[in-house]
């Protein structure tokens, strides 16, 4: 059983090691922290921590560094998170508040998180299984070129150009636009897609000839493909350079970690398995990650959601030697603001 003082020793070892990347010895603990006991007593506490596999000596006669188990106990014992400064909170509001659409706000989110934490920042695109169609627009660009726009109540805006074989007159295009919105506005996206697949058959004859119905089917199919595209799970990332700068914190090459981030599959699976703790965040440390490529990395994540979207996740990834308190606070704050922004 580890004493309360030993747990305090663990706390300062984690903090000092994160700050300096140097193994922490009993002498430096006595000199830098107010324990009011001898270095010999601190060594006894460190021996107890070592027996519990909470710290380890990386080299003979060196100081000690935390293990994955030690980091886990440190995180679990946090009574509260260090609040972000007023300047940090204002930066979040200003920077994200200038976004023009969902793609822009998510791109800004990862850049902001990478700057706040000095880690790799990751944001999962929101699932829109509960989102509904707000409006569908067809904009003529040129003969045989039409811009197809899907706007959902979750804030998702998708655009794609269709190139039908024949040209629709402006009046026919306006009629198609009216029909499409009359039959799909307010529907869940998956239901709207089913309606659009057969909508050309409902257009009245004789005005809508087989040729014109074919053009309508082409335009509707573009919207269907946009809907199907929004249902794909994907991540966006920023701050890869931060991971490279901490390469010395990994015993081997950092390349497998970068490859795991780029391939996304393992991280999407990890995100789906992470449940939030009492702080509103989730932390996976080192070997707690099932993926062999992430056994020397930690992931801090939180959930966010907007109107009509399921909970998605955002977070940061870096070496196990990271500032957990700051990173957890930043991830939680950005997730909360992002949920508010997308919900407006």
Residue 309's pLDDT is 61
Q: Which CATH number fits domain 86-127+233-343: 3.90.1150.10, 3.30.450.40, 3.40.190.80, 1.10.10.10?
A: 3.30.450.40
Residue 188 is given by DSSP the state: B
* Higher-scoring residue by pLDDT: 305, 39: 39
Question: How far lies 336's CA from each of 38, 280, 340, 342, in Å?
Answer: 45, 10, 6, 10
* Higher-scoring residue by pLDDT: 94, 127: 94
CB 180 within 8 A of CB 226: no
CB 309 within 8 A of CB 272: no
Neighbouring residues of 164: CB distance < 8 A, sequence distance ≥ 6: 144, 146, 214, 215, 218, 219
Residue 285's pLDDT is 95
Mean pLDDT over residues 229-235, rounded? Answer: 72
Residue 66's pLDDT is 96
Residue 190's pLDDT is 86
- Sheet with 297-304: strands ordered across: 235-238, 120-124, 312-319, 297-304, 282-285
The model's confidence at residue 58, banded by pLDDT at 50, 70 and 90, is confident
144: region left, alpha or beta (phi > 0 left; psi from -120 to 50 alpha): left
What tens digit of pLDDT does each residue of 78-87 get?
877 778 888 8
Residue 129's pLDDT is 60
Residue 302's pLDDT is 92
The model's confidence at residue 292, banded by pLDDT at 50, 70 and 90, is confident
The model's confidence at residue 277, banded by pLDDT at 50, 70 and 90, is low
Mean pLDDT over residues 103-110, rounded? Answer: 90
Residue 126's pLDDT is 76
**CATH 3.30.390 placement within the chain:** 133-230
* Higher-scoring residue by pLDDT: 14, 341: 14
Mean pLDDT over residues 228-244, rounded? Answer: 83
Closest CA to 107 of 249, 235, 245, 197: 235
The model's confidence at residue 213, banded by pLDDT at 50, 70 and 90, is very high
**What percentage of the chain has pLDDT greater than the value 70?**
94
Q: Where are the beta strands (DSSP E) in the chain?
A: 55-56, 65-66, 120-124, 133-142, 145-152, 157-162, 235-238, 282-285, 297-304, 312-319
The model's confidence at residue 194, banded by pLDDT at 50, 70 and 90, is very high
DSSP 39-50: HHHHHHHHHHHH
The architecture CATH gives domain 4-76:
Orthogonal Bundle (1.10)
Residue 310's pLDDT is 67
Residue 253's pLDDT is 81
Examine the pLDDT at 65 and tell me if it is beyond 90: yes
Tokens of 156: 């998702």
Max distance between CA atoms of the chain, in angstroms, equals 97
Q: What is the mean pLDDT of the chain?
A: 88
**CATH 3.30.450.40 placement within the chain:** 86-127+233-343
Closest CA to 262 of 245, 247, 243: 243
Neighbouring residues of 229: CB distance < 8 A, sequence distance ≥ 6: 158
Examine the pLDDT at 128 and tell me if it is beyond 70: no
Residue 315's pLDDT is 94
Domain 133-230 in CATH 1.10.3470: no
The model's confidence at residue 308, banded by pLDDT at 50, 70 and 90, is low
What tens digit of pLDDT does each residue of 320-344 get?
999 999 999 999 999 999 988 887 6
């Amino acid at each position: 059983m580890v004493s309360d003082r030993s747990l305090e020793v663990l706390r300062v070892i984690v903090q000092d090691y994160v700050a300096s990347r140097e193994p922490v010895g009993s002498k430096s603990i006595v000199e830098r922290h107010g324990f009011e006991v001898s270095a010999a007593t601190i060594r006894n506490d460190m021996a107890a921590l070592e027996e519990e596999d909470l710290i380890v000596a990386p080299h003979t006669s060196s100081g000690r560094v935390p293990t994955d188990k030690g980091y886990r106990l440190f995180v679990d014992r946090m009574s509260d998170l260090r609040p972000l400064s007023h300047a940090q909170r204002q930066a979040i509001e200003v920077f994200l508040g200038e976004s023009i659409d969902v793609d822009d706000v998510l791109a800004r989110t990862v850049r902001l998180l990478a700057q706040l934490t000095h880690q790799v920042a990751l944001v999962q695109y929101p699932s829109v299984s509960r989102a509904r169609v707000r409006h569908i627009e067809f904009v003529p660009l040129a003969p045989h070129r039409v811009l197809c726009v899907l706007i959902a109540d979750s804030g998702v805006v998708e655009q794609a150009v269709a190139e039908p074989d024949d040209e629709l007159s402006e009046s026919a295009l306006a009629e198609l636009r009216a029909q499409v919105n009359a039959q799909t506005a307010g529907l869940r996206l998956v239901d709207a897609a089913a309606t659009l697949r057969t909508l050309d058959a409902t257009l009245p004859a004789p005005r809508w000839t087989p040729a014109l119905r074919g053009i309508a089917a082409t335009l509707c199919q573009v919207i269907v493909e946009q809907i199907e595209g929004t249902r794909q799970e994907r991540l966006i990332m920023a701050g890869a350079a931060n991971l490279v700068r901490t390469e010395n914190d990994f015993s081997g090459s950092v390349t497998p970690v970068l490859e795991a981030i780029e391939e996304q599959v393992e991280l999407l699976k990890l995100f789906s398995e992470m449940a939030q703790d009492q702080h509103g965040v989730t932390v996976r440390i080192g070997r707690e990650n099932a993926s062999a490529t992430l056994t020397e990395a930690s992931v801090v994540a939180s959930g966010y959601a907007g109107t009509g979207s399921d909970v998605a996740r955002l977070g940061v990834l870096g070496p196990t030697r990271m500032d957990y308190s700051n990173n957890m606070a930043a991830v939680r704050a950005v997730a909360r603001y992002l949920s508010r922004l997308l919900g407006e």
